Chain A
Amino acid sequence: KNQVEQSPQSLIILEGKNCTLQCNYTVSPFSNLRWYKQDTGRGPVSLTIMTFSENTKSNGRYTATLDADTKQSSLHITASQLSDSASYICVVSRSGNDMRFGAGTRLTVKP
């Protein structure tokens, strides 16, 4: 069973709208949580990384939140653009290099 669950699996929004992607995890112990953006046919690119003590991190129009008590994270995208169309992957690390990947949320932004 995957220890990192993302929802929704896919999402379609109109350009300019906001959206929020969810990540729930059962990974323990917890070291950090990262969000990656993966364009079709390309490798993932890091957006944010948060440790246990951080509950929010921003990168331009992307804002990630973390609730370590409920083991939930979200990625909020503000004023979406066509270039935001991609898969967004949540990755939770235990100690060392043990990383667990979510299956991703496929976001499509339409004009």
Chain B
Amino acid sequence: EAQVTQNPRYLITVTGKKLTVTCSQNMNHEYMSWYRQDPGLGLRQIYYSMNVEVTDKGDVPEGYKVSRKEKRNFPLILESPSPNQTSLYFCASSSPRGSGETQYFGPGTRLLVL
């Protein structure tokens, strides 16, 4: 089954404790992206990747890092989480370039930073 998976689905952590949210897709998509969703604001892009070893900032990259060492994986790293990063996070993928193609979203990761 074609899908985007994220782990963990739910996470409670404390300020400053590094964490990684994994994202994996099995559709051989070149394009992958991370979003955060906050009430009343809609989805906002954090980082995206056009292909392996190619990443770029989205609208709200501060406090986040990503890597794309393999085509199927695109982890989101919070080196020192803060309470304002409490949010619902979605990973998405599409092919070949993201524009004009359907994006497939993961199930979401709900993060609470205390």
Contact = CB atoms under 8 A, between A and B. Distances in A.
Interface of A: 2, 4, 31-32, 34, 41-46, 49, 51, 89, 91, 93, 95-97, 99, 101-104
A51 B100 contact: yes
Given A51-B100, A93-B99, A95-B99, A43 B42 contact: no
B74 interface: no
B43 A97 contact: no
16 contacts: A4-B42, A31-B99, A32-B99, A41-B108, A42-B107, A43-B4, A43-B90, A44-B105, A89-B42, A91-B43, A93-B99, A96-B97, A96-B98, A97-B33, A101-B43, A103-B40
B45 interface: yes
What is the interface of chain B mostly: helix, strand, loop, or mixed? strand
Interface of B: 4, 31, 33, 35, 40-45, 48, 50, 90, 92, 97-100, 102-108
Contacts of A34: 102
A102 to B, nearest CB: 6
B43 A89 contact: yes
B100 A2 contact: no
A45 to B, nearest CB: 7
B75 to A, nearest CB: 17
A98 B24 CA distance: 22
Contacts of B42: 2, 4, 89, 101-104
Contacts of A104: 42
Which 10 A-B pairs give the minimum distances between C-beta atoms? A43-B105, A97-B98, A103-B42, A101-B42, A101-B43, A46-B102, A44-B105, A43-B90, A43-B106, A93-B99
A35 to B, nearest CB: 11
Contacts of B100: 31-32, 49, 51, 93
Given A43-B4, A99-B45, A49 B99 contact: no
A18 B41 CA distance: 27
